[in-house]
Every structure is written in C-alpha cells, then in structure tokens.
Structure 1
Amino acid sequence: MKKLFTPILLLVLFSTVASAQSEYQPYSYQFYQKLNPDIYNTQSRAHTSLKPFFIDDSLVKQHYDALMGLGVDSGKHSWAHRKLFNEHLFDVREKDYTFFADYLPDLMIGKDFSGSKNTWLNTRGYQAGGTIGGKFYFYTSGFENQAVYPEYLNTYINQVGQVPGQGYDRSSGKNTKDWSYVTALISYTPVKYLNITLGQDKTFIGDGYRSMLLSDVAAPYPFFKLTGKLGNVQYMAMWAYMDDPLAPKFNSFGDDRRKWGVFHYLDWNVSNRFSVGFFDAVIWAAADDQGHSRGFDFQYVNPIIFLRPVEAQSGSGDNALIAMTSKYKISNGITVYGQFLLDEFISKEFFSSDGSSRNKYSWQLGVRGGDMFGIKSLSYLFETNNTKPYTYSERSEIINYSEQGEPLAHPWGANFREFVGLLNYSYKRFDFSGEVDYGHYGLDLTDGSGNTINYGKDIFQVYIDPAREFGNYTGQGLTTNMIYLEGKVAYLLNPKYNLRIELGGIIRDEKNAQFHDKTALFTIGLRSSFRNLYTDLASYKTH
C-alpha cells in the first residue's frame, strides 16, 4: 500500500496552488436534510448520492453559508458571547491559509423508565480544520467517551464488542462503556474535476436514510479516495483497510484480522430530474485462515468499475457485490429514489420461487423532499429496506461485508424488512425531529445441543452452512417485530459546530417468542458535532 500512497503524497507536497479547494462537511442526516430544497431542486443537477459532500456547488454553498451563520448577528458582543453563539473557538482567516478549531462537548443524562435505569454520556471532543492555499483542505475530529446506555444498547455492545458506529468498547462488558472515536483526512483538489482524499472516516452512498450499498453505521476506517467530476458524471474509486475482531484469529497473540476493500461508484445525472448510479465492491483478506500474508492486491488498483466483480463471480475467492441506484425528482418537493444490490447471482435460482439460500440481494425504495405541505423547512423521508437471508455473508468470516464487527451497509445485517419515516422541522434556532421505524426480521436459533442454526441475519456466520438450502424467506428463524419511536427538540446555540441543548425521547418495543424488550427513554443534554450516531438498532443475536 505504501507503493500506492507515496507518489500521491509527493504530488500533494510539491504541487503549486491554483484552483479553489473543496470544503469538507462531515455527514449527518440531520444537517444534510436541511439542504433538500437546493440539492433536490428540479433546476439543479447536483450529485446527491455520494456523501460527505465537498461544498463547492455555488447554489449549495450559498445555503450552507446561511446555515453556518444561522442567528449570527454583527452586533458588538463580548468574546465569551461570540465564541458561545457565533464563532469557532479558534478561527484564523488569512489570504494563503485558514484554520478553525472547536471544543466539542457531548454531555447527556437520561432515564429509562421501563427498566428504572439512569443513563448518561460524557464525551470530550475536538474538531480542527482549514485550508492551505487554494488546493488543500484538512480536517480532524476526536472524542473520548464514557457512557451508561439503556439496556438494549448495552446488550448490543456486549454482544458485538463495539459501541455502535464509533469504536471498540474498552470496558470488557462492564456497565459503564469506554471508547474513543477519531477521524482525520487531507484533501487535495489539483483541478476542479478531481479530488484526492487520504484519511480515516466513513463514506455513505445513497439518497435515503439507510444505504444498502455503503453506509456510515460502522466505525471509521483508513481509506484512499479519488473523486472525479466531468459534466454530469461523478465517479469515485476508494481503497480501504479494515479490521475484523470477530473473525477467527490465527496467532497466539489474539490479534484482530485485517482485510482490504475496493469500492467504485459512478453517478450519472441523465437530466435535471433523473439520475442513475452504478456501484461495485470487492472485499479480500489481508491473510488467509492459515496466517499466510496476502497484503494489498495490486490487481485491484485498476479503477474500472465492474471489472473485478465480474471476474470474482467467475471463480475468485474474494467477496464481490454489484449494485445500482436511481432517483427521480417528481417536483421540487418530491424525489423518489431506490437501490438494488446483488451479492450473488445464479439465474436459475434467482428467477425461481424456491427460496434458495444463494438468492442474496437487497433493495430500497423511498420518497423524500422539503417544504412539505408548503411549510418552509419541513422535510420528510419515507422508505422501505429489504434484505434476503444470508446477504453480505461469505464462505469465510473474514471477507464478509463488515468493518470492525459491524455491517458496512444496513445496521440490521440481513434477513429483515424495514419501514421508516422521518420528519424534520427548523424554525430559527429550534430543530424538531421525529422517527417512526417498524422492523420485521428473523434471529438465529440454537438446537438441542446448543449449536447455532444460521437463519441468515448474522452476516458474520458463513453462508455455506444455512439452516436450509431452499425454502428460505425474510423473517425466518426466531421471527421478531420491532417498533421504534423517537422525538427530539433542540435549540441551536452555535451553528459553527452544532452546539445545542437537546431533549429526546425513545420508545422501543422488540418482541418474539423468546423475549420481549421494552424501552422508554428520556434524555436531556448539551450536544455538539456533525455525526450520525444510530440508536434505532435491532437485536443482532438472541439474548
């Protein structure tokens, strides 16, 4: 991998300054949905599927700047007032460079009334970023965390060993969880048609709340990414290095296994209203199950989309997936979107109705928009996500579609059906949001000898040993239904780093033949940063 990165780094260090840099905005659904009136406008051809955005489109930049200056006034105020309500903690803007930095608190207390349990979160974080000349942008954020979670999240963390989407739990199963979360990147834009990014972070592909292709539900990972734009076409090629703590170890030190991934995504805006995208991914192990090192496979340096997945389907031992996305803007306030991912294709079984365990695919269909019912800043999203049993799993645990113990696509893994609706409304510095989520899925069962029967939800189980070869259906196994309701009211203190006072409530009911989990959680806190932290999770395993 060093051979690949060294020429790029030299290019970055010795290039001259010319075109304007691309400003990076960390991805969070809550913030990005505020841009709906611009990016989903029928007069715009903005590329919307690949996130995070670089805020360089003139129309988006104007709205973005307005959001970053929300409620900021030009009156004379004390230093403390300006830093609390209007400005970055440090903000330097010179002709040849800029720099900003902020302290990011995330402090929250709560009560789970269903379990009479007190919860809390104590996070101390930072963010820093800036530009050098007209081509370079850099950004980093870091968080040190301790928390006591409601029981359903506590169970998830104990089973997976990871705090959802953030990092390894250092508490070793204790009630108080302890973890770190760090992102960092450097971005170089030599010409307006190309961006080169090296760092550790996440990538989200899609126009929905979830992604069946590549999501932000797992922890950040090191990556090298090329993103090009030419006319109405945007193309991304990304190489990533990932960790798998759940795969069987092959040495006495108990070190986590490593794997590589290559991801390609092409987004074509056919017209102002219609776009279509094409995606592929290949995951391969850095070393086989006997510990023989493979390292980075340089045949995957080739950036041509669909080349390697086609070869992989014809006999390669690596994990290959292909997919397509699409969206259509019916009007300025209504956009329909969808995704279809194919993990394995055998035509005879795919087009039959025999429920083969090798029919591995996912699909999404949704509608979203802004200014609902003519009400300014009222955004909505409604979507359904469906994944067949055994999708994203593989013949070997190490090359399943995951990063650091969590899925790279939908957080529920496979063998599920989901319906989710989101509403968001902003009025001056107030934000109101609500979510309704219904899930239907099947967990694995154990036989009389205590062996796990693989019904296809847990992507970390190898799919070559399914519960049955034919007759599979979504929700098989320990059939489970979940209802998740969440509401939040926030008052924005400082838009520069999303500092806000937030009240929240969660009602969650998960039920099957073996257990019935209920959560009724109320929280209040001082929060900040732009991140997606998912709490609408389904059980991954039986209790």
Structure 2
Amino acid sequence: MKKIILLIGLFISAFAVTAQSIYAPLNADYYHLIDRADVLNKNFSESVHTSFKPYRAVDIVATIDSADFLNSAQDQFNAKFIKTDHWEYWGEDSARSKKSFLKKIYRTRADFLHVNTKDFKLRVNPILYLSGGRDSNSGSTPFINTRGVQIRGSIDDKIGFYSTIEESQAVFPKYVQDYTTDRGVVPNEAFWKKYGEHGVDFFTARGYFTFNASKHIALQFGYDKNFVGNGYRSMLLSDFSAPSTFLKIQTKVWRIQYTNLYTELIADAPYSSFGSNGTEEFPKKFMTSHHLSINITDNLNIGVFEAIIFNRGDSTGSAFEWNYLNPIIFYRSIEQYTGSPDNALFGIDWKWNIAKGVQFYGQGLLDEMVISELKAGNGWWGNKFSVQLGGKYYNAFGIKNLDLQAEYNVSRPFTYSHESIFTNFAHYRQPLAHPLGANFKEGVFIARYQPILKLYLSSKFIISQYGTDPGPNINLGADVLKDYTTRTQEYNNEIGQGVSNDQLYLDLTASYMLKHNLFIDLRHVYRDRTSGLAELSSTTNFTSIAIRLNVAAREQSF
C-alpha cells in the first residue's frame, strides 16, 4: 500500500489539479431522492452515473438543480434540503440560518460549526443515533447508542477531505445477534467487542481524501464503502460488509464514466471466545475492479463490471500483484497471464428510463461457466451466476411523491466462493455482494410516500427462499466463506438446495424531519423464518423509536 500511495503522489504531480468534490455518504433514503430526480428529469443527468455509488456532491447539486422534476412542494423541499447539505457547491448565503447561537454555532442550517475562506473550508457536525425498542423474540431490550462527529472540507479548493468518527453500543434484535454468533462479526461493521450479555461495542472511523487530476479525472483514497448498481441489492458489489481501504480513480468524459477501484480486504477475522475479533493481525487480500458506464442514449445506460480477488503472500502476510494496476478493462487476460490463481468475476448492469417516472434496471454476474455443462442441464456445480431484474415507478398512478420499486434477485450455489479465504468474494467474514451469499431466490417490494414536506413513509416487503448447509462439514454452496473444493456434490446442484428456508421480512418506517438532518423514526419490523431445521425457525416482531442526527438509519434487512 505504501507503493500505491507513492504512485498516487506521482500521478498527482503530473497534472494541474482542479476543483475537488467530496462524496455524499451512502444512505438508501437520501440516495432515493437523488435517483428520483435522475429518473424524472427528461434525459439522463450529465453529472451522475447512478450505477456507481457514492456520488460526488458537486454532481448531486448539478442533478438536483434541474427543474424538470420539481412538480410538487415536496420535491422543492427535498431539492433545497439536499443543496443545503452541500452548500459549498451551491452558495453559503442560500443555506444561512435565520438565527445562529452565539454568532458561531449553526450559522448555516446544515452545520454546527463551519469555516469558509478562500483557501480553507471546514464543516463540523455532531452525530447522534439513539434508539430503543422491543423484540418479541428476545429477552433483552434492543437499543442503539451512537455518538460521533463528522468533519468535511477542502484546502485550496484542490484537496477535499471527509471523516466520520462514531462510538457505538447496541443490543440488536435476536436475528442480528444470531448472525454475530454464527459468523463472529457484527453486520456492516469491522472490529467489535462484547457489551454486556447480549450487546456489542464497536468503533467506526471512516474517511478519505479527494482530488482531481484533471477536469475529467477524480481520485479518492480512504477507508469507506462502495456500491455498484441501481437496485436495492447489488449482485456485483454492495455496502453490506465492513468498510475497507481503497483507491478509486474515476474518469468521466462525454457519455462515459470509467471507474478503477483498488481495495485491500480482510481475508478472515478470527472470532475470540471473549466475544470480539481478537487482537492478532488479520490476514489480508486484495480486490481490483473496473466499471465502465456508458449512456448509450439519453435514456439507456449499460455498465460492464469486472473484479479480481487475489493474494500474493501466505497466512502471515500479503503482497500486491502489480499486473492488476493496469487500468484497462478485461482483467481476465492478465489473470491468465499470471497463471490463473485468482478469482475472476465478470458482470453487466443496465438501466432504461422507458418513460418519465418509469425505470427498468438489472444486473448479471458470471463467476464461472462451461457452455457444454450448461447445455447438458445436469446441475454442474461450476456454472455460477447471479441475476437481478427490477423496476421503479415514480409518482405512481398519478399520485405525487408515491414511489414504488420491485426487484428479483437469484444466485446459484457456489457463486462468489473460491479455493480459499484469500480469493473468495467476501470481506471481514461478510459477503461483498448480497447478504444471503449464494444459493437463493429473493423478491423485494418497496413503497415510499411523502404526504407532507417533512414526513417520509416507507415499507419494505422481502420474500426469500434459500438453502443452507445441514452441518459444518457439508458444503452445498450457500456459504461464500467455504472453500468450494470441499463441495459435497459435483452434479445435480440447484438453487435452494440443502436445508430449505422460507423467509418473510417486512419493514414499516415513518420518519419525520424535526430540523435539518434531525429525524425521529418510528419503525416496526416483522421477520418470519421457516427452516427445515426446526431450531433455526423464528418469528420476530420488533418495534422501535429512534432519533437520528446526521446519520443514516441502520439497515438490517437480511
């Protein structure tokens, strides 16, 4: 990684650096408002390619600034909310508070403290997430207690920086506790410690630097998450797992956006009997990926994705494969050149705004395939793929600010797995794509409605059928962490094999914005899992109330 940092420095020095932009943190509710603007505008935004997230703040402002979709008071309110969030790319005067405190605090509606000079911009905000509730399936009382700070700004309008630091204690619903017990990790998080009898304690610090090498080339180096696709889930790269260290080079010119992503991952996080990830050095691996996004027409976008997971060390160390610094697409040829020791994945994604307010989208991932075996129809284990098909309907049935989404996801057994922990498509013992790993079918139905300016209503209805292994020494392709050379059978593999599981997940949420980025949430989650192993069957009714400041609602829809 030291050599990569040096390479970044040399790369920067070769160009005249132009104005930078930070990225808006990943937040499904927030990004829904941005994507809504993109779909309701007459043509694709020239600023945002929505298939690779997060988005640059300057591009968000350019998209939101279009008047094509501002056909309701709610849309106008949302546009002002988002632009106020990124006033440094819009104008400080437009975000000023009517009343500040001691003439220093909340001089703008979006910031606790800020500095705005020609050469230096700094914005500082507190983070707070306090939640309490009741879980019918647990004797414990679920809660979340998160405190933190968010810092963002720029130097000389050339170097941007962003960081969030959060300290959390939480008791999650029983099904989340079970995930931690089974995997030894807290979903979405990295290092953790046990808190009390049922709780967890974890510290999260994310941050990065941004700079533009030229007018069309932006670089980002830091520790955070990325997401590929236009759906609720991603079959290519999601934000479900823990953050990771990465270098991203994003080139945007004409109708094309080309993203190079170089990432250091944690191959394993040994679970300690003391209720934490332990204190030893964790083994590492690397992922390099390319994503090419092209606006074929004003309403049709096609994307091509490829990724390589690799390690050039041993159980005590790791080394980067310099061949994978090649920025040109189609890594498979390079992987073959080095002897084919690595895990190569190839995918496509697309979106088609077929009419104003209506979008179809999808993804396809190919992990491995032999055409002769596929034609034989004998269920060969190595034909590994995942597919996503979905649609969005904004202002559904003529009702303003009622947005609907439906999505179907499917993944064959053994997809994403490989010969070892150093080449599987996982990070910190969590899948890098879908939370269920592989060997599943899933239907997702989402409705969002904003009846008045500050009230956001949403419902998520998720039905999934998936297979799990009946024992630790049996491998039927569901767990991406397992070595696929230990597979139980060569042929007759089918989706959902193993212990059958039928799961229904329902999330009903009402969020009200009390002040800028200060929300109060009322949520009810119903989760019913019927398993072929009776001890794994469970029913959860979880009701909670939360207050959030400058932080996204925690998603646990698995």
**TM-score (normalised: structure 1):** 0.90
Number of equivalent positions: 526
SS in 1 for 2:123: strand
CA distance 1:356–1:98, change in 2 (3 Å): same
Counterpart contact for 2:366–2:384, Cα < 8 Å = yes
Match of 1:435 among 460, 473, 477: 460
Counterpart contact for 1:69–1:86, Cα < 8 Å = no
Counterpart contact for 1:52–1:204, Cα < 8 Å = yes
- Residue of structure 2 in register with 1:541 after alignment: none
Query: Structure 1 residue 354 and structure 2 residue 378: aligned?
Result: yes
Match of 1:66 among 74, 80, 90: 80
Structure 2 counterparts to residues 3-152 of structure 1, below 5 A? 3-9=3-9, 12=12, 19-40=18-39, 41-45=41-45, 46-57=48-59, 59-62=62-65, 66-68=80-82, 76-79=98-101, 83=106, 86-152=109-175
Counterpart contact for 2:308–2:331, Cα < 8 Å = no
1:532, distance to aligned residue in structure 2 (A): 6.7
Query: Structure 1 residue 331 and structure 2 residue 355: aligned?
Result: yes
CA–CA separation in structure 1 for the residues paired with 2:549 and 2:377 = 49
1:146, distance to aligned residue in structure 2 (A): 0.6
Counterpart contact for 2:128–2:551, Cα < 8 Å = no
Q: Given residue 503 of structure 2, which amino acid in structure 1 is its aligned partner?
A: M
- Residue of structure 1 in register with 2:297 after alignment: 271
CA–CA separation in structure 2 for the residues paired with 1:172 and 1:319 = 37
Counterpart contact for 1:203–1:215, Cα < 8 Å = yes
CA–CA separation in structure 1 for the residues paired with 2:231 and 2:443 = 12
1:280, distance to aligned residue in structure 2 (A): 0.5
Which runs of 5 or more structure 1 residues have no equivalent in the other structure? Answer: 538-543
CA–CA separation in structure 1 for the residues paired with 2:311 and 2:36 = 43
SS in 1 for 2:408: strand
CA distance 1:255–1:2, change in 2 (3 Å): closer
Structure 2 counterparts to residues 351-430 of structure 1, below 5 A? 351-426=375-450, 427-430=452-455
Counterpart contact for 1:309–1:320, Cα < 8 Å = no
- After superposing the two structures, state which structure 1 stretch, 418-427 or 333-342, moved more: 418-427
SS in 2 for 1:411: coil
SS in 1 for 2:422: helix
- Residue of structure 1 in register with 2:255 after alignment: 232
CA distance 1:148–1:302, change in 2 (3 Å): same
Which runs of 5 or more structure 2 residues have no equivalent in the other structure? Answer: 67-77, 86-93, 273-277
1:375, distance to aligned residue in structure 2 (A): 2.7
CA distance 1:65–1:48, change in 2 (3 Å): same
Counterpart contact for 2:96–2:109, Cα < 8 Å = no
- Residue of structure 2 in register with 1:241 after alignment: 264
Q: Residues 400-437 of structure 1: CA distance to partner in whole angstroms, max 9, x if unpaired? A: 10111101111110000010011222331111111000
Query: Structure 1 residue 527 and structure 2 residue 551: aligned?
Result: no
- Residue of structure 2 in register with 1:540 after alignment: none
1:295, distance to aligned residue in structure 2 (A): 0.5
1:126, distance to aligned residue in structure 2 (A): 1.3
1:194, distance to aligned residue in structure 2 (A): 0.6
CA–CA separation in structure 2 for the residues paired with 1:106 and 1:75 = 24
Q: Given residue 542 of structure 2, which amino acid in structure 1 is its aligned partner?
A: L
CA–CA separation in structure 1 for the residues paired with 2:108 and 2:142 = 28
1:253, distance to aligned residue in structure 2 (A): 8.6
Match of 1:487 among 487, 498, 508: 508
Q: Given residue 388 of structure 1, which amino acid in structure 2 is its aligned partner?
A: R
1:265, distance to aligned residue in structure 2 (A): 0.4
1:37, distance to aligned residue in structure 2 (A): 3.5
Q: Given residue 4 of structure 1, which amino acid in structure 2 is its aligned partner?
A: I
CA–CA separation in structure 1 for the residues paired with 2:501 and 2:529 = 7
1:399, distance to aligned residue in structure 2 (A): 1.3
CA distance 1:248–1:162, change in 2 (3 Å): closer
- After superposing the two structures, state which structure 1 stretch, 377-386 or 4-13, moved more: 4-13
SS in 2 for 1:348: helix
SS in 1 for 2:484: coil
Structure 2 counterparts to residues 480-519 of structure 1, below 5 A? 480-495=501-516, 498-515=517-534, 516-519=537-540
- Residue of structure 1 in register with 2:314 after alignment: 288
Q: Residues 471-512 of structure 1: CA distance to partner in whole angstroms, max 9, x if unpaired? A: 1111110000000000111111333xx321111110000011
CA distance 1:259–1:203, change in 2 (3 Å): same
Q: Given residue 62 of structure 1, which amino acid in structure 2 is its aligned partner?
A: D
Q: Given residue 103 of structure 1, which amino acid in structure 2 is its aligned partner?
A: P
Counterpart contact for 2:236–2:433, Cα < 8 Å = yes
**TM-score (normalised: structure 2):** 0.88
1:169, distance to aligned residue in structure 2 (A): 2.4
Counterpart contact for 1:278–1:324, Cα < 8 Å = yes
1:275, distance to aligned residue in structure 2 (A): 1.1
Q: Residues 214-233 of structure 1: CA distance to partner in whole angstroms, max 9, x if unpaired? A: 11001110001100011001
Match of 1:155 among 166, 173, 178: 178
Q: Given residue 57 of structure 2, which amino acid in structure 1 is its aligned partner?
A: I
Q: Residues 120-150 of structure 1: CA distance to partner in whole angstroms, max 9, x if unpaired? A: 1111111110122333211001211111111
Larger RCO (alpha carbons 8 Å, 6+ apart): 1
Counterpart contact for 1:377–1:425, Cα < 8 Å = yes
Q: Given residue 458 of structure 2, which amino acid in structure 1 is its aligned partner?
A: S
CA–CA separation in structure 1 for the residues paired with 2:445 and 2:337 = 36
- Residue of structure 1 in register with 2:72 after alignment: none
1:11, distance to aligned residue in structure 2 (A): 5.6
CA distance 1:191–1:84, change in 2 (3 Å): closer
Counterpart contact for 1:281–1:309, Cα < 8 Å = no
CA distance 1:162–1:13, change in 2 (3 Å): farther
1:350, distance to aligned residue in structure 2 (A): 2.6
Counterpart contact for 2:84–2:110, Cα < 8 Å = no
CA–CA separation in structure 2 for the residues paired with 1:321 and 1:173 = 41
Indicate the RMSD between aligned Cα atoms, in angstroms.
2.7
- Residue of structure 1 in register with 2:241 after alignment: 218
- Residue of structure 1 in register with 2:285 after alignment: 259
Counterpart contact for 1:109–1:523, Cα < 8 Å = yes
Q: Residues 13-70 of structure 1: CA distance to partner in whole angstroms, max 9, x if unpaired? A: 89766x3322421111111111233212341244110100013336414277612367
